[in-house]
Amino acid sequence: MRDLLEARIAEIEKLLDNVEIITKSTSSKINFGSIVTFVFTADTEEEKHTVEIVGSGEVAIDGDIPRISFHSPIGAVLRDKKKGDIVKARMDSGDRKEIKILDVQ
């Protein structure tokens, strides 16, 4: 057990050594820290989804706004896009879904 804890501590220390603080952009384009509202255009009910785009170490699906990585299928296609853009994402299932961006904060 002690070895596992020491390995985890070493892993966290390595992460901290490489931390880079990113200031939230005031750009209208989607980037780290952006909160994005979108719909899948094929959904008949057009349910709105809101997510925050984060780094891979910050992903969390609990809370009011899920946090997705910019490496995820949706996060990757949203990056550098803006309100009104329509993009296609290949989902984990292999399906391609069209996404319309409704809002970027």
CATH number for the domain including 83?
A: 3.10.50.30
Q: Tokens 């880079």 belong to which residue?
A: 20
Please check whether residue 34 lies inside any domain of the structure.
yes
Beta pairing, strands 86-90 & 96-104 = antiparallel
Confidence of residue 75 (pLDDT cuts 50, 70, 90): very high
In a domain, 10, yes or no: no
Task: Report whether pLDDT(15) > 90.
Answer: no
Q: Look at residue 54 and tell me if it is in a domain.
A: yes
Q: Is 11 within the bounds of a domain?
A: no
Number of domains, the chain: 1
Range of the domain at 51: 23-104
The pTM of this model reads 0.75
